[in-house]
Chains A and B, each alone.
Chain A
Amino acid sequence: MIKRWKLLTAVFAVLALVAGACGGDDAGSDTTVAPTTTTQATTTTTVADTTTTTAASGDTTTTTAPPVVRADADLVIWADDTRTPVIRPFAEAFGADNGLTVAVQELGSGDIRDRLITADPAGEGPDIIVGAHDWLGQLVANGVVAPIDIADISDTFSDVAVSAFTYEGKTYGVPYAVESIALIRNTDLVPTAPATFEELETIALGLRDDGTVTVPLALQENGNGDPFHNYPLVTALGGYVFGSPELGYDPNDLGLDSPGGLKAAEAFGAWSESGLVNIDVTYDVMLDSFGSGDAPFAITGPWAVSSFGDVNYVVEPIPPVQGGTPAPFVGVQGFMVATNAANPLIAETFLLDVMAGEEAQLALYEAGNRAPANLAAFAVASEDPDVQGFGLSSANGFPMPAIPEMGSVWSAWTDAYELIFTGTDPQTAFKDAAAQIRNLIAGG
């Protein structure tokens, strides 16, 4: 009898451990959200960037536990910590003018998407979220965002902003910012812009070899490999992630193992060997080294420039690599309306009448340094040389793919870079990654 009891207790103990381990499957519980959150932060590099940006830009607000439930107000907006203080006065003025209550709730940038996916079907989501265009694939597949008709104001935005928020023929957001990475050059260390990437390489390695700097090129790889930041160098050599970017990307045309992609793999192998590119450069190492004059060049985005301190720098497009023009991913930020919004008409009115306008877009630009999507606001902002430089760089690029298949790319490609940096044959690494991605896409 005693033995039977022991066995039973043991089975329950095991049950407990397993249940603890897969508790994340339990829909609706808080644990569900936690693991997914981590996923997104690691998968989509841009999201990670946005988070680190705000942390690094001296914004000391720590994100408190995000609210699960929508606030009790007529109009509820979910925004990240950089955008929340900017949107709040506009939302409050709109509410006061029209006799409505508004609430702007602050969430971690990666949390917004994942919370929306669980909260919207439960009717506990917001009316409006602030996010990036490359979330659309997942959000539309889940059905949690509603299309918004911006046809009559689309000519007040840059073309790339509108096309980024167009998904399967419908527009899903009011864009407010366009961003991409570019080359940042320390003008004290390197007074004249290198005309080619090869020249850049010579200068950078020269400065390292004579002991002036320790990091020749501050290109973040985060300890594994960073497909997002490496992408302009890949495209310059003829590689690409998916074909037909101008048509919203073709998931059947994967370009990692195209001749250009393999050429890029070889190039990364060589750069890793010469020390130009280093796997151990993280976002913080990039900021520290460039900000302290210990790196002559950095490749990063507008979120980082405010953290560079007193260094004299200039922002410019990355010079041609072996004659090819680097085309970075362009990210577009915008406002989206949730499908089960409690107040979709008011939400649309607020976005079209207030947030799409020049005044709001300029305020958002000042908070985040990203070039405004609104053309009138951009005209004002582009007097800033940084905005000009990033603008020239993003003019060469295409919006980052929003298609859900992109979710299968990140971890496989990151692994491939890590393998190259740790000595695997570069071509094999990219070919294997391409095979993995095709497997994942086929497996659904």
Chain B
Amino acid sequence: MTGTDLKQEETRRVESRRVSFGLGLGVKLLFLAAVNALAVFGLPRMIEEKAWLFAAFTVVATLSLDWIYLSSKGATLPLKYLIPGTILLLVFQVWPVLSTAYIAFTNYGTGNVFTFDQALDKILEDSTFPQDDDPRLDAKPLAIVDGELIGEIALYLVDEAGVEFLGTADGLEELAVEDVVLDGDRVVGVGDYEVLGLAQVSDLQEEYSSLEIPAGENKLIKLTRGVSGASLVSPTLEYDSDTGTLTDLTTGVVYEQVEGTFTAPSGEEIAPGWRAIIGFDNFTKVLTNESIRGPFVRVFIWTFVFAIGSVFFTFIVGLGLAITLNQPEMKGQRVYRSLLIIPYALPSFLSALIWAGLLNQEFGVINEFLNLDIPWLRDQWMAKVSVLLVNTWLGFPYMFLISTGALQAIPDNLKEAAAIDGATSRQAFRQVTLPLLLVSLAPLLIASFAFNFNNFNTIFLLNKGGPPIAGAQTPAGHTDILISYTYRLAFESGRGADFGLAAGIGILIFMIVATISAISFKRTAVFEEINQ
């Protein structure tokens, strides 16, 4: 290459760069800058929280995005399309699924929210809580203060007999009258120590709250009432880090670690427990525990009826309206279409609550308007009908929309051909239009089934799964579906919240829905053959 060639090449490059330096590049750089800023903003926090996995992911994701979009090499072109989607998939799909799966194998829930270290600290700390007959002492926080620096800390203590002590981490020292520095009759110091104000204590609160002054065999003095009161206590529990057991010093009972809780041979437990992996316990509990399994079969069946019924009715109503409004001779199509979409445009939780009000037996508008006394939500069969009714109302606009779209995509000449071949309009619909519709709609119907299988909103907000099933082994309602029953079981019926169990049932539900969907998709392949 000669010098002139090089120069020409250079000019060409500059020019091409100038051309691409348009709006597109600006937007691209703006986006990249935003992504990088977000990462820079988030990273210190992640590191502070020791969320190494997230931090590593953020670094890798950000750097790869920068590289892909800033590199001029053609090799990164496919990645430009793949990577953003993959990152979003990992963050919003894979991560929650994995984390749910992980929780399903733990005991996370009421009684087990701490880490092991937190729980152990808490248990040992509580075991030094003063009993009613433990001696109480008045206290003042002391420290050697040298200008800004605060050195060794101590406590000025007065026992019930009025004897004054200096307490340090080394032990107790009885004070003579001349050791105590007074301002009027207020104690302001002891020897070199000064009494601290609360603001100074606040800076050193870690040191003060962990200060334990030895006072004889298995006895210690610690602050128990803010900074102005201390107690002489005897710890009741001792931790052996070799065996990982706790021993009760008064009774000699040894507590071992059993599934995230210190447990005595008698089964007695010490609260709190900690988050621990407990294997398949949550799953076996669902499958074997009599009290959970009780209403399970009924709920299971109704879940299917509800999901299939919802898909069926919404589809029938939606399709029917779509066909009607697709007739060319129909007037005011746009108005009708806009009106029909209203239920879809309203937030479904709001609609469900409104419907609950409308269907109220005593005050509801529907009974009042029709002058009836129908127990819409209180009779088990009527409640099931109501739930399906409301869910159809909520869901048909979606079916209407997709059916309209699919209908318009079917070429008119196919119908004409059918008519020429002598098919009636019903035959043409059943044998030409419907199969073609199902080719594009079947996957959406399956998705709708999966959605309704877990349609917590409608069930819970309309009637909370009620009315109650009389005589069920655990509280359950006639319209409870698996997900709302899980919610009752894991969050409403026990000691508080059982995230582990909820995650376990969540995974079982996923397996059911995934299996059904996979089979259904296989089957819809039948429709596709029509296309060929």
Contacts and interface: CB of A to CB of B under 8 A. Distances in A.
Interface of A: 3, 6-7, 10-27, 32, 35-36, 39, 42-43, 74, 98-100, 117-118, 121, 137-138, 140-144, 146-152, 170, 223-224, 280, 339-340, 342-353, 404-405, 407-408, 410-412, 415-416, 418-419, 422, 424, 428-429, 432, 435-436, 439-440, 442-444
Contacts of B132: 151
Contacts, number: 272
A253 B271 CA distance: 22
Contact of B114 (A143, A280, A353): A143
A136 B501 CA distance: 23
26 contacts: A14-B447, A17-B450, A21-B506, A22-B503, A35-B491, A42-B464, A98-B198, A121-B113, A140-B271, A141-B111, A143-B118, A147-B129, A149-B129, A151-B132, A170-B129, A280-B362, A344-B205, A345-B208, A346-B202, A351-B226, A408-B493, A411-B488, A418-B468, A428-B470, A436-B474, A439-B291
Given A21-B509, A411-B492, A439-B473, A345 B201 contact: yes
Given A39-B492, A352-B225, A340 B118 contact: yes
B96 A74 contact: no
Nearest to A137: B495
A422 B383 CA distance: 13
B-side interface size class? 35 or more
B198 A100 contact: yes
B497 A36 contact: yes
A11 B514 contact: yes
B289 interface: yes
Nearest to A224: B466
B496 A407 contact: yes
A10 B111 contact: no
Given A3-B525, A11-B514, A27-B108, 9 more contacts: A24-B502, A25-B103, A26-B103, A27-B99, A141-B271, A151-B130, A152-B225, A407-B496, A422-B378
B226 A349 contact: yes
Nearest to A443: B291
B8 interface: no
Interface stretch (B20-28, B227-235, B318-326): B227-235
Interface string B363-388: 10000000000010010000000000
Contact of B229 (A7, A100, A152): A152
A140 B205 CA distance: 23
A149 B509 contact: no
B202 A100 contact: yes
Contact of A408 (B100, B362, B494, B506): B494
Contact of B506 (A22, A141, A345, A415): A22
B373 to A, nearest CB: 12
Contacts of A353: 226, 228
A21 B229 contact: no
Nearest to B101: A25
B227 A349 contact: yes
A16 B225 contact: no
A18 B122 contact: no
B311 interface: no
Question: Main secondary structure on chain A at its contact with chain B?
Answer: helix
Contact of B201 (A138, A224, A342, A346): A346
A411 B454 contact: no
B65 to A, nearest CB: 22
A255 to B, nearest CB: 18
A118 B447 contact: no
Given A99-B199, A346-B198, A12 B93 contact: yes
B189 interface: no
**Which 8 pairs of residues, A with B, have the shortest CB-CB distance?**
A143-B272, A349-B226, A22-B506, A415-B468, A99-B199, A21-B454, A439-B291, A348-B226
B229 A149 contact: yes
Contacts of A439: 290-291, 294, 473-474
B433 interface: no
B521 A18 contact: no
Nearest to A342: B205
B443 interface: yes
B96 A418 contact: no
Interface string B207-247: 01100000000000001111111010000000000000000
Contacts of A152: 136, 225, 229
B346 to A, nearest CB: 19
B115 interface: yes
Interface in B485-522: 487-488, 491-497, 499, 502-503, 506-507, 509-510, 513-514, 517-518, 521
A294 B114 CA distance: 52
Contacts of B113: 117-118, 121, 142-144
A143 B488 CA distance: 24
Contacts of A349: 198, 225-228
A264 to B, nearest CB: 18
B271 A143 contact: yes
A147 B126 contact: yes
B446 interface: yes
B450 A138 contact: no
B466 A18 contact: no
A43 B492 contact: yes
A48 to B, nearest CB: 13
Given A98-B199, A142-B110, A18 B454 contact: yes
A35 B487 contact: yes
B493 A412 contact: yes
B471 interface: yes
Nearest to A416: B468
Contacts of A352: 225-226, 228-229
